[in-house]
Amino acid sequence: MKRRTFLQQIGSILAVLGIAEAEWLTLSDSYSQALAQSNPRKLALLVGINKYRKSPSLSGCLTDVELQKELLIHRFGFASSNILTLTDEQASREFIEAAFLDHLGKQVKPDDVVVFHFSGYGTRIKLDDSDATLHNALVPTNENLEIQDEKIATYLLEETLLLLLRSLTTERVTAVLDTSYDAPNVIQPTGLRIRARQELATQLATAEIEFLKLLKTQNSLSNAVILSATSDPKQVAKEGLFSGFSAGLFTYALTQYLWETTPPTTIQFSLSHVDSAMYKWGSKQQLNLVTNKKVLTSENLLLDQNTSAEGAIIATEEDGKTVQLWLGGLPAQVLENYGVNSRFTSANGQQLILRSRTGLTAKAQISSVETASPVEVGQLIQESIRVLPRNLSLAVALDSGLERIEKVDATSAFAGIAPVASIITGEQSADYVFSKLLETPSRYGLFSPGGLLIPNSAGEVGEAVKVAVTRLGAKLPHLLAAKLWRLTENEGSSRLPIKVSLEIISGISPKVILQRETLRTSDTKITQKILNLPTVPIGSRIQYRIQNKGDRSVYLMLLGLKNHRTAIAFYPWQTVEEPNTSETKPLLQQVVIPAGETITLPQNAATSGWTIAGPAYECEHQLILSTAPFSTTLKALETAKYPTADQQPIGALVNPWEIAQALLQDLHNASITTVEVNGTANDSYVLNVNHWASFNFSFYVS
The CATH code that applies to domain 3-290 is 3.40.50.1460
What was the pLDDT predicted at 577? Answer: 52
Instruction: Give CA–CA dist 457/448, Å, rounded.
Output: 11
What was the pLDDT predicted at 506? Answer: 79
Q: Is 346 left (phi over 0), alpha (psi -120 to 50) or beta?
A: beta
Highest mean pLDDT range out of 77-86, 136-145, 268-277?
77-86
* Residue 678 pLDDT > 80: no
Residue 269's φ and ψ, nearest 5 degrees, are: -65, -45
Is residue 449 within 8 Å of 190, Cβ to Cβ? Answer: yes
Is residue 65 within 8 Å of 91, Cβ to Cβ? Answer: no
Domain range summary for the chain, segments of one domain joined by +:
3-290, 311-389, 394-483, 487-701
- At 514-529, the pLDDT tens digits run 999 998 877 655 555 5
Instruction: Give CA–CA dist 192/332, Å, rounded.
Output: 15
What was the pLDDT predicted at 4? Answer: 43
Instruction: Give CA–CA dist 325/439, Å, rounded.
Output: 46
CA distances to 121, 311, 342, 381, 654 from 377, in Å: 35, 12, 20, 11, 50
C-alpha 421: how far from its chain's center? 24
- At 544-557, the pLDDT tens digits run 999 999 999 999 99
Is residue 574 within 8 Å of 521, Cβ to Cβ? Answer: no
What was the pLDDT predicted at 31? Answer: 29
> What is the b/e burial string over 393-416, where b = at least 16 CB atoms within 10 angstroms of the residue's CB?
bbbbbbbeebeeebbebbbebbee
What angle, rounded to 10 degrees, do the helices at 656-672 and 476-486 form?
Answer: 20
Confidence of residue 193 (pLDDT cuts 50, 70, 90): confident
| Pairwise pLDDT comparison (370 vs 167), residue with the higher score | 167
Least confident among 236-240, 431-435, 452-456: 452-456
- At 283-333, the pLDDT tens digits run 878 878 777 654 444 455 454 556 789 999 999 987 888 999 999 999 999
The CATH code that applies to domain 311-389 is 2.40.30.20
Q: What is the mean pLDDT of residues 337-341?
A: 93
What was the pLDDT predicted at 148? Answer: 54
What was the pLDDT predicted at 283? Answer: 80
Residue of 126, 208, 196, 199 lying closest to 160 (CA atoms): 208
